[in-house]
Amino acid sequence: MYSYLATAAILILTLGIIPAILWLIPRCRKSRNGFLAALKTAPLGVLLIFLILHCPAIPPLITAFAIPMGIALIVLLGVYCVKKYQVNWKHLMIASPVIFILLFVVFTLVYLITTITFLLPRSSRGWIKHELPFESADGGKLYFQQQSIHPFLAEYNYQLQFKSPTRTIEKYLITNTGGKTLINVFRLPNGDLILEDKSGIYLVSANPFRTELIFEQASKLYRAELPGEPVTFWGPAGDDDQISFWFNDKKYPAREIKNDLYGGKYIGCIWHDGKFYPASEKPEKNLPFAPPESCEVHRYLRDNMIFYFDYPDDDNDTIKSENNN
């Protein structure tokens, strides 16, 4: 859904940039050139069509007349240019339909191709797969998998795959609906991992293998095991005696966290390309655009790790270790 809306927003903004610039520049606004006048009017007609077609608040009866209304806007603006600035109307009548048809066809094709891309099964879009440093009693290996869900925006599905000689388990992390991949990785004394990105903080346990999301509820921290499907909706559910957590449309039981996350050490990060880089190559980074509701979780983990994080006034991009002070 977010990717679909983002594509519409990009197309709409693109259609509005050229005419906006031409109307703002006095020399272009007052020009008698018919082709220039067409560039000031035709894109706005196409823009109106896209706005009508993609605004859910507009009644279907009006939506049915989106194209005639777009053409009417072009005609009205063209008449205004002819009367106000004495534009060559013969040139305008030739250039305006050509530009309108060209823009309408191109942007419609781009939008249809993008929409069809999102309707394709997820399995048709490939995963980038890289191994993470992980210790398991049965010799299993842990892989981080990244799948692009948008043709040109940085939006991804994330998945952890645990693979051993006897079993394969896959768990989705929260879908990244905007922003390049950046996930800090910590190791606890017992070998478990903590993954921290802007959408959430995860505990990855080795024996047995589990992937749990850490969250705050009533000034306490809890963890709930992630489902084996993409997560697009999540949130705590505290409406009964048992604290639980919503993943998509299902409730999952949660366990309170005591002191079992103490002593985590930063060992590296998962970078934009989906590959793990050790701490020696990429020091710990601030996570941009972290949601405010996750601050308590971040504070708790930082207070119980040897790496510290200054909230919220740390302007340094790299987080330094207390051991280095």
At 216-225, the pLDDT tens digits run 777 777 888 8
Percent of the chain whose predicted confidence (pLDDT) is above 70: 78
Task: List beta partners, residue 276.
Answer: 270
- Report CA dihedral (283, 288, 294, 297) to the nearest 10 degrees: 10
pLDDT at 177 over 90: no
Whether residue 320 sits in one domain with residue 195: yes
Q: What is the 3-state secondary structure (H, E, C) of 71-122?
A: HHHHHHHHHHHHHHHCCCHHHHHHHHHHHHHHHHHHHHHHHHHHHHHHHCCH
Whether residue 230 sits in one domain with residue 97: no
Q: Please state the pTM of the whole predicted model.
A: 0.56
Which CA distances in Å does 38 have to 48, 73, 171?
15, 12, 53
Q: What is the pLDDT of residues 94-146, one digit of tens each?
A: 999 999 999 999 888 877 776 666 555 444 457 889 999 987 877 889 999 99
Question: According to the model, what pLDDT value does residue 71 have?
Answer: 94
Residue type, 139: G
The whole domain housing 209 covers 182-324
Whether residue 318 sits in one domain with residue 188: yes
Nearest 5°: CA angle at 99, between 93 and 103? 150
CB atoms < 10 A from the CB of 148, how many? Answer: 17
Residue 273: partners with Cβ closer than 8 Å, 6 or more residues away: 128, 181
User: Domain ends where: 119, 138, 153?
Assistant: 119
Question: Is residue 40 domain-resident?
Answer: yes
The 8-class DSSP code of residue 161 comes to E
Per the structure, the count of domains in the chain is 2
Question: Is residue 167 domain-resident?
Answer: no
Whether residue 195 sits in one domain with residue 76: no
Question: According to the model, what pLDDT value does residue 68 have?
Answer: 93
Lowest mean pLDDT among 105-119, 123-137, 263-277, 281-295: 281-295
Residue type, 166: T
Distance CA 214, CA 247 (A): 13
Residue type, 214: I
Question: Is residue 137 domain-resident?
Answer: no
Question: Is residue 176 domain-resident?
Answer: no
Distance CA 107, CA 15 (A): 9
